[in-house]
Amino acid sequence: MPIQILKNFFKTGELKKQHVINLIRSSLPIIGLITVFIVFNALTHGNMWSSRKLILNQIYVVMIAATGVFFIMSMGGLDFSQGSIMGIASIVVCKLSGTNIWLAVAGGILAGAAIGAFNAYFYVGRKIKSFIVTICTMFLFRGVIKYMASNSPVAASMRVYDYDTTAIKLGITAAVLLISFIVFRFTSFGIHLKAIGAGEKAVKFAGVRTDRVKFLIYVLAGAITGLAAFVNIVKNGSATANVGNQLETQILIALVLGGMPISGGAKVKFENVIVGSLLYIVLTNGLIMMGLTTQMMQLIQGIVFLIFVALFADRENLSVIK
Amino acid sequence: MSDIRLEVKKVSKTFGITRALQDVSFNIAKGEIHALIGENGSGKSTLTNSLAGIYHKDRGTFLLDGKEVDPANQVEANNEGISIIVQELGTLDGLTVAENIFLGHEEQFVKFGIKNTAAMNKKANELLKKYGFDKIKAPDMIDDYNFEDRKLVEIVKATYFSPKIVVIDETTTALSREGRDELYKQMKRIREEGNTVIFISHDLPEVLEMSDTITVLRDGVYIDTVKSSEIDEDGLKKLMVGRDVTGAYYRTDYGEEVSKEVVMKVSDVTVPGLISDVSFELHKGEILGFGGLSESGMHEIGKACFGASFDRTGSVTLSDGTHINDIPTAIAHSIAYTSKDRDNESLVMNQSIRDNICLPSLRELSNKAHMLSDKKLKSFAEEFAKKMSTKMQSVDQFVSNLSGGNKQKVVLARWIGKDSDILLLDSPTRGIDIKVKQDIYRLMDEMRKSGKSIIMISEELTELIGMCDRIIIMKDGRINGELLRSADIDENSLIANMV
């Protein structure tokens, strides 16, 4: 689309105001990513580039978990319980890692899926708005995490460090992204998701079992975050009481930075996940390297977040956060 | 002083990529009732809404008595001497009748920052009395009045200050006979005072009777302005459509035998509060009509047969014994449904034409690995959108930008693409202009001939009489009579069963 507009521009010189706005909107995340990257490299005298491995290491967890939430937000829902899902799944991974590493992976995924199903039951079955349900489960499971990990962190078996290689972490991330991309772009499931985000009632009347789709998507997002929990434990080796804290906000900011319309629908694009996660990580790391305090960082993040939401909100369709 | 009240000069307005108005120019005189007609999406309401400050035109000027006006909102328009009675409900809930009448003009009752409610009510009551609407009381909440009375309040609101121009946008369809007469009386009064009425209506006999001058728009372009005394209904239709409207409008056959084969059997269907104990059979190749008053429950029949009703009892059975209890089962067994509430139930508004057409057919369109290709979806959507001659730039366009008739074409394209055998069409021609209506009737006739069965639910009795093999009349949620196709049925024989 943007390319088409540019072509027209060069051909006819015609560039309408609305088109300019759309062009800026659709290319802002990628331009932002490049600009932020260059600016921080300049400001830190290349420090950012030399510590790229360290930065890359922080991307995996956010990017994997953001993929699940991306699905949820495509159909107009929200999920604030991601951090708590990450926490519980991390503890499960730690406990099982001594027995068998495959069992630990499966356990993490299952734990995540179970909490996702718990969310979905109240959201779909009991018809409570998703952000209310997930805020409740966020506190609920955070409580469980504190109970289990407050006295001492839950440590994983030393064997998990064998898996702490870039190949494995990058491989898992790439696999999740690739499969999700195919599902989102080339299956009826993906089309259903976007359509539900754009207008649920009409989708129901077109014969889609919308409740089933909505239930599945929460389970799936939970499972994906369960997998991210494995990567998290491989990286950190143990689960503290703060494990996964604020992951949900990080994901939300990442997706919105990537250009995701907050109410989902037809304008959602898969590159939102990738560009957004990268932009978020580069931005936070850049700020840290600049020597900003945590308080200042939160302030700046808040401002950037607000600007992006204002830019990408689909105002015709805003009343429908489910 | 010239006797031109309003000069419309090269006014243009676009919505997204739809050009609603293109360089429209014409004049409206003082002391006349000037009708504005055209098919759906021809730009009538867009023009008057721009004049009244509801929309903002992109280009062009309005000259009111030679002075340019460009109101930013309705209150500013009022102050310039322009008022409007809109098609939809134009009064606000939660306010009193008086507050609604003086909305935006409360300052005349405000002293030292405090509103004098008594004075406002007194003035409003005087106005209502002057108009002869004594039954409406100024201090009452507007919520306590029905649609018709609220429209009367709007008439007062729009005309009490003797504006130079009053726009009346398709208000008459919402009114009963008495309400209409009241409105006509007010329109004539405004004319006698030397002011101007811009009158928008789809009802051509009414337009010819009431107006002095008629301006025709088509697809956002100015076509012609004619004197009402010098033209007839056919002449107007020709101007609106752009060609002679000839050929059969409805079906012309009578006495054709309908197949005995039953494709759908509905037994004792009840939906609490809407329909009770409805039973009927639909035959192969039959067009079965449902008529009645809007609240007769007939609109629920379509939903009930589609498995979309909430809390339904009784059974809907197909010839192979399948029970229809939910939408996916209905669609899987070749049943299609178009809702009266097109924008909410039939179409995903903020979604492309492509996805809207493909939505129920995704399973058929995916390959063995359950994968879909963009190319296949696009060609499928294009094939059926073109078959329905949908007016669009491309199938990637969002349906929200289409006019009512084109939206309905997208809905029908979806089900033709699905090749459904049983079609449940609720108000298929609601808000659709003559040309598209004719297309839809022809399509229904073709489908019938190819052995498909149709249930047509409609509030328009003439189209039921014209199209159906059999008409079932509903009253208070029950079946209250059945008529077979014949050239002798007239509207009165249907109405007798309706009320």
Output the average pLDDT for chain B. 88
Identical fold for domains B4-241 and B262-498, yes or no, is: yes
* pLDDT greater than 60 at residue B286: yes
Give the pLDDT band (50/70/90) at residue B152. confident
Partners of B339 on chain A (C-beta within 8 Å) are 205
Handedness of CA B136, B294, B340, B387 (dihedral sign): negative
Closest partner CB to B345 (pick from A192, A201, A209) = A201
Closest partner CB to B345 (pick from A188, A202, A209) = A202
Predicted pLDDT at B83: 92
Domain B262-498 matching CATH 3.40.50.620: the answer reads no
Q: Which amino acid, residue B116? A: N
Residue of B12, B333, B341, B351 for testing the chain A interface, max A β-carbons within 10 Å = B351
ipTM for the predicted complex comes to: 0.81
The strand pairing partners of A239, in sequence order, are: A154
SS3 B283: strand
Partners of A188 on chain B (C-beta within 8 Å) are 362-363, 366, 370, 372
DSSP H helical ranges for chain A: 2-12, 17-43, 47-50, 52-74, 82-97, 101-120, 130-149, 166-186, 188-198, 200-205, 210-236, 247-257, 271-289, 294-312
SS3 A13: coil
Q: Which residue has the tokens 């054709």?
A: B256
Distances (CA, A) of A314 to A32, A71, A260: 20, 17, 10
* pLDDT greater than 50 at residue B374: yes
Q: Which residue has the tokens 């260059």?
A: A38
- Cβ separation B360–A188 shorter than 8 A: no
C-beta of residue B414 within 8 angstroms of C-beta of residue B364:
no
Distances (CA, A) of A211 to A75, A201, B344, B384: 12, 11, 18, 29
Q: Which residue has the tokens 């734990």?
A: A111
**Cα B54 from chain centre:** 20
> Which has more confidence, B496 or B137?
B137
Burial level of A38, CB count in 10 A (0-12/13-18/19+)?
A: exposed
Predicted pLDDT at A14: 47
C-beta of residue B32 within 8 angstroms of C-beta of residue B194:
no
Range of lowest pLDDT (B88-102, B127-141, B401-415, B426-440): B426-440
Predicted pLDDT at B17: 61
Mean pLDDT score, B462-474: 91
Please give the Cα distance from B138 to B95 (Å, whole number): 10
Torsion angles phi and psi, residue B187, rounded to 5: -60, -45
Could you tell me the mean pLDDT of each successive run of 10 residues in chain A, 322 residues long? 52 56 78 87 84 86 95 94 95 92 94 96 92 94 91 84 89 96 93 91 92 95 96 90 89 90 85 92 86 83 82 57 54
Please give the Cα distance from B127 to B137 (Å, whole number): 11
Question: Which one, of B225, B240, B220, lies nearest residue B24 by Cα?
Answer: B220
Range of lowest pLDDT (A103-112, A247-256, B68-77, B142-151): B142-151
Which tokens is B459 given?
């509030």
Predicted pLDDT at A17: 61
The strand pairing partners of B85, in sequence order, are: B168
Q: Please count the other Cβ atoms lying within 10 Å of the Cβ belonging to residue A66.
A: 33
- Interface residues from chain B to A (CB-CB < 8 Å): 16, 306, 308, 327-328, 330-332, 337, 339, 344-352, 355, 358-360, 362-363, 366, 370-373, 398, 400, 414
Q: Which residue has the tokens 């949820």?
A: A72
Q: Which residue has the tokens 């996964």?
A: A244
Which tokens is B475 given?
């009253």
Please give the Cα distance from B128 to B158 (Å, whole number): 13
Instruction: Kindly list the domain boundaries of chain B, sorted by start residue.
Output: 4-241, 262-498
Partners of B417 on chain A (C-beta within 8 Å) are none
| Tens-digit pLDDT profile for residues B209-258 | 999 999 999 888 899 999 999 998 888 888 887 766 555 678 888 888 88
In this structure, are strands B67-69 and B221-227 parallel, antiparallel, or unpaired? unpaired
Proportion of chain B above pLDDT 90, given as a percent: 47
Which tokens is B461 given?
């009795």
Residue B380: HSE in the Cβ half-sphere, 13 Å Cα cutoff = 25
Give the pLDDT band (50/70/90) at residue B350. confident
Please give the Cα distance from A219 to A119 (Å, whole number): 8
Domain B4-241 matching CATH 3.40.50.300: the answer reads yes
Distances (CA, A) of B107 to A173, B88, B123, B125, B422: 64, 27, 13, 18, 60
Predicted pLDDT at B62: 93
Partners of A182 on chain B (C-beta within 8 Å) are 371
Residue of B17, B306, B342, B359 for testing the chain A interface, max A β-carbons within 10 Å = B359
Which tokens is B276 given?
């009770």
**Cα B449 from chain centre:** 29
Predicted pLDDT at A306: 85
